[in-house]
Amino acid sequence: TYLQRVIKERKKVLQLLNKRFKKKERLCVGGAKIFGVPLENLTRQYIPEFGLVPCFLVDACSFLLERAGTVGLSCQYITGCLSTALPYDVATLIKQFCRELPQPLFPSELHAALLKAQGLSNVQDRTSALQLLSCLLPARNSSCLHYLFNFLSKVSQRCTENLMTSSNLATVFAPCLLPPPNKTEMSEGRLELRVLVLRNFIENPHLFGKTVALFSFFFFQVPYFN
């Protein structure tokens, strides 16, 4: 599997991670590039309910789900302890995979709409608006995000063991999935909104990309149609 090849070349991976991946560097595993490559060029496999998902992401998430009780998947591992180091390494690789995509999984043109939707005061309206916006994603992005949020939701369900609540996970992945365009966005508290958007999707992965029951919201509650 992709993951096994990643683990075999772990030293190389960590060296690249320590260099923080210079812009022109591209990680190759088993002769195939997995970082910095457009989704459509990655090897993918069909997963029922989700669609085509990058093989690396499937392998990495499956690996971590088996170890979902590991405390602090995003925390530093204990030097010399392979059993705790590997989950950290793989979790880091997933974040790096998302961060190194040529285009964010959430296209930048949708960011403003997602933040406005998150700002709605009514919880039901907010959830419905975010659900509607998730339907506007390209199919390959939607499949990847749906699979990732489903995985993160399962990890958060074991937060008493691993300390990774939906809020913590959203905070970890916000810079990778909804990167702010500049430092001003972060200083103005907009990063918090981005975290809340992701938390909503992590807590409601079953609604991601689903159009059922959205038409009444779209036609009767969106001001443009009133």
Q: How do residues 94-152 score in pLDDT, each as one tens digit?
A: 899 999 999 999 999 999 999 999 999 999 899 989 999 999 999 999 999 999 999 99
The CATH number for 103's domain is 1.10.555.10
Q: Rounded distance, CA 169 to CA 156, Å?
A: 8
Q: Rounded distance, CA 74 to CA 88, Å?
A: 6
Domain count, the chain: 1
Q: Rounded distance, CA 160 to CA 223, Å?
A: 42
Q: Rounded distance, CA 205 to CA 199, Å?
A: 10
**Does residue 12 surpass a pLDDT of 50?**
yes
pTM of the entire predicted model: 0.75
- Domain assignment of residue 187, given as a range: 2-225
Residue type, 117: A
Looking at the DSSP bridge assignments, the partners of residue 196 are: none
Give 18-49 pLDDT, tens digit per residue: 443 343 334 444 456 788 999 999 999 999 99
Q: Tell me which residue has tokens 């496999």.
A: 45
